[in-house]
Structure 1
Amino acid sequence: MQLFKCQNCGQLLYFENTRCETCGAPLGYEPFGATLTALRDNGDTWLPMAGAEQPYRFCANAKYDVCNWLIPAESPDQFCTACRHNRTIPDLSDREHRLAWRKLEYAKHRLFYQLLKLRLPTPTNAELPGHGLVFDFLEQPPQAGAAKVMTGHDDGVITLNLQEADDVARERLRAQMHEPYRTLLGHFRHEIGHFYWDILVRDGGKLDQCRVVFGDDSEDYNGALQRHYRDGAPANWQGNFISQYATTHPWEDFAETWAHYLHIIDTLETAAAFRLGVHPTNAEEPALHADITLNAYGEGKVEGLIDAWLPLTFAVNSLNRSMGIGDLYPFILSEAVIRKMGFIHDLVHDTLPDDRAA
């Protein structure tokens, strides 16, 4: 993510900040200008200190301390471009639910930062009836025998079990599922991958090309899922897949690779914002050296991203080990995985030919 600073005093800020810790100025995020701006009180509205002095108001969810995004004052919408996709939110009379929802929204808003920056479509159900992007944040019913709330995607509806916002519970699941990485942001990035498979691949004229790279998605999904949980990943899976779960079915391979693509470009943008360079001592191999200066959201070639990513992850993984914690990025990018990321990179930037043009 890019770096933000307070226009009133110059203090560096985090994306989620609602008030500058140095000067006390209120802050709001203007999503289409990708600007976190200090604000001046204008009665019922706010005036940004960054850019044109168009009046704004906060998203209706700001009152719950889950959103700091702005809406043009004249807009008929109550909710910002991220919150307007919520269909079901937790019971806010429960304090723990409110805290869990805040964690979910923080992660979801970081996802939307990327979707907007990539100019990807985010249709609501009103705009794409029956297939628009919808979020259901559901708690597990306490009754014995109640159906388990499953995190997943179904025709535009992304469901997240509220339990995933509990760090202890999520870590327990991560260990049980033998996953090296499990975060709220990771869930959002994975599930949105399924959504974009539907609208960019299946409905976007790219299905034949996708099958060449990821395999035949007509394979029975439920049967593939049962086989995965029964038998696990095949031997030598790391030569062709980014994760064990990616081996389940081409749909999951696509969603896992999509999520990692978003991991990479977001982290590289952050590294570039800090002007990070990696130049290890005693390492003559050029592939281990990099100055992170590229525009991670630009078109270019996916190899440019990978050339910056590999030395960066070697460095941060080494830093993590110095702190006695696990690798920040415990994954292997094989040639096959990079080729899959290249497909997603080209899909995102709309540089793939249309199957239907043949």
Structure 2
Amino acid sequence: MKLFHCGRCANLLYFENSRCTRCGADLGFAPDVMDLLAIEPAGNATWASVASGDLYRLCGNYQNQRACNWLIPKNDPHTYCVACRLNRTIPDLSVQKNSDLWRRLEKEKRRLVYSVLRLQLPCEPRNEDQFGLAFDFLADQPAMFDERSKVATGHANGVITINIAEADPVERERMRNQMAEPYRTVLGHFRHESGHYYWDLLVRSGPWLGPVREMFGDDTRDYRQAMDEHYQYGPPIDWQSRYISAYASSHAWEDWAETWAHYLHMVDTLETAWQFGMRVNAPQSPMVSSEPAPEFDPYQAGDFDALIRHWLPLTLALNSLNRSMGHDDAYPFVLAAPVVEKLRLVHRIVHGG
């Protein structure tokens, strides 16, 4: 994520801010310029950028729900921003807990959409494009006695379904422990499920299918049977030598989605570090970054090896800092050589497909 500054007072801002904490300026993210703008009322329900004077309207979820801080160009006829137009179903907001959980989901979804826009990947709403993307944010019904009847997070035919319970930190931690997962976040879910969507869009019927099958395995293997075997017998003993996660070993589709999510983790975290001017020199490490940080944009990097040279020392630093604070590793992954090659293929598809 890039850094943002208030166009009125130059205060450093967070991506989620809707008001500057220093000068009180109203803020809105404008996806057409990929910047968080200081804005001021310009009449007729429009807002002007303090810096450029360009006119915008507030996203409908900004005005009515305070669940979004994105803007719409004045001449764009839509009521909702490009991120909110992806929503097909949202939970019943008359239930207070649902409203809180939905806002948390929206916050993480906008980070996914930011990455997709930075990578210049297709991101059209499904109700406007037959190959587009849609989100269903659903809640379990009360008094559920059959676990199989609960809302399952997943992807099917361009629709990503998220159980809003994933936005509840207590429930998510319970599931993380139950599934023996070292890493489970809402943003991770969004990135993983988007991988299934982009498999359909970029791989399934195109020239990348052969290389992907060679690298990730047979995607025609019966999915349900593969998942049953995974949950019954667990991952292979040597899974860390070939996969980014234990779950990735269950089926080629999940290997792709886990690797895709990890690629998004990499480029977005590296952009944050790059924007702060961070450059990690790991003593006696063969993976020391040689490029000056200000010249490195991970979202535009043509050289995948440059990503890895920056990434490995950074993750070492992240984990060391966390351990110094008495926390578990922030980055509980091992990038074996086959995993690096899978990430390289994802990089080629993203930038060449």
Q: Note if contact 1:246-1:256 (Cα within 8 Å) is conserved in structure 2.
A: yes
Counterparts in 2 of 1:274-285, with a 5 A limit? Answer: 274-280=276-282, 283-285=283-285
Q: Note if contact 1:85-1:134 (Cα within 8 Å) is conserved in structure 2.
A: yes
1:42 aligns with 2:50: no
Structure 1 residue 295: deviation in Å? 1.0
Aligned equivalents of 1:296, 1:274: Cα separation in 2: 13
Structure 1 residue 337: deviation in Å? 0.4
Aligned equivalents of 1:4, 1:323: Cα separation in 2: 27
Deviations 1:331-350 (A, max 9, x none): 00111001000110000012
Aligned equivalents of 2:223, 2:293: Cα separation in 1: 40
Structure 1 runs of 4+ off > 3 angstroms?
A: 143-146, 288-293
Aligned equivalent of 2:133: 133
Deviations 1:285-316 (A, max 9, x none): 34256654421011422111011000001011
Aligned equivalents of 1:26, 1:233: Cα separation in 2: 50
| Counterpart residue type for residue 209 of structure 1 | P
Aligned equivalents of 1:115, 1:18: Cα separation in 2: 22
Aligned equivalent of 1:271: 273
Deviations 1:224-282 (A, max 9, x none): 000000011001111110000000000000000000000000000000101112235xx
Aligned equivalents of 1:102, 1:314: Cα separation in 2: 32
Counterparts in 2 of 1:25-64, with a 5 A limit? Answer: 25-43=25-43, 44-51=45-52, 53-62=53-62, 63-64=64-65
Q: Note if contact 1:242-1:332 (Cα within 8 Å) is conserved in structure 2.
A: yes
Q: Note if contact 2:289-2:306 (Cα within 8 Å) is conserved in structure 1.
A: no
SS at match of 1:349: helix
1:310 aligns with 2:312: yes
Aligned equivalents of 1:157, 1:176: Cα separation in 2: 26
Aligned equivalents of 1:232, 1:50: Cα separation in 2: 55
Aligned equivalent of 1:123: 124
Q: Which moved more, 1:199-208 or 1:112-121?
A: 199-208
1:16 aligns with 2:26: no
Q: Note if contact 1:138-1:149 (Cα within 8 Å) is conserved in structure 2.
A: yes
| Counterpart residue type for residue 22 of structure 2 | T
Aligned equivalent of 2:73: 72
Aligned equivalents of 2:332, 2:325: Cα separation in 1: 15
Aligned equivalents of 1:336, 1:348: Cα separation in 2: 19
Compute the TM-score of the two structures, normalised by the length of structure 2. Answer: 0.95
Q: Note if contact 1:32-1:116 (Cα within 8 Å) is conserved in structure 2.
A: no
Over 3 Å counting, the alpha-carbon distance change for 1:288 and 1:205 in structure 2 is closer
Counterparts in 2 of 1:1-358, with a 5 A limit? Answer: 1-43=1-43, 44-51=45-52, 53-62=53-62, 63-129=64-130, 131-145=131-145, 147-280=149-282, 283-288=283-288, 292-293=293-294, 294-350=296-352
| Counterpart residue type for residue 77 of structure 1 | H
Aligned equivalents of 2:112, 2:51: Cα separation in 1: 23
Aligned Cα root-mean-square deviation (Å): 1.3
Aligned equivalents of 1:102, 1:144: Cα separation in 2: 24
Structure 1 residue 74: deviation in Å? 2.0
Over 3 Å counting, the alpha-carbon distance change for 1:204 and 1:350 in structure 2 is same
Compute the TM-score of the two structures, normalised by the length of structure 1. Answer: 0.94
Aligned equivalents of 1:71, 1:204: Cα separation in 2: 33
SS at match of 2:340: helix
How many residue pairs get aligned? The number is 347
Structure 1 residue 126: deviation in Å? 3.1
Deviations 1:157-204 (A, max 9, x none): 100001101001100100110111100000000000000000100133
SS at match of 1:208: helix
Q: Structure 1: any 5+ residue segments left out of the alignment?
A: 352-358
Q: Note if contact 2:144-2:150 (Cα within 8 Å) is conserved in structure 1.
A: no
SS at match of 2:287: helix
Aligned equivalents of 2:5, 2:319: Cα separation in 1: 28
Aligned equivalents of 2:236, 2:152: Cα separation in 1: 25
Q: Note if contact 1:111-1:189 (Cα within 8 Å) is conserved in structure 2.
A: yes
Q: Identity over the aligned pairs, expressed in percent? A: 51
SS at match of 2:36: strand
Q: Structure 2: any 5+ residue segments left out of the alignment?
A: none
Q: Note if contact 2:8-2:51 (Cα within 8 Å) is conserved in structure 1.
A: no
| Counterpart residue type for residue 185 of structure 2 | T
SS at match of 1:64: coil
Q: Note if contact 2:301-2:307 (Cα within 8 Å) is conserved in structure 1.
A: no
Aligned equivalent of 1:356: none
Aligned equivalents of 2:6, 2:314: Cα separation in 1: 28
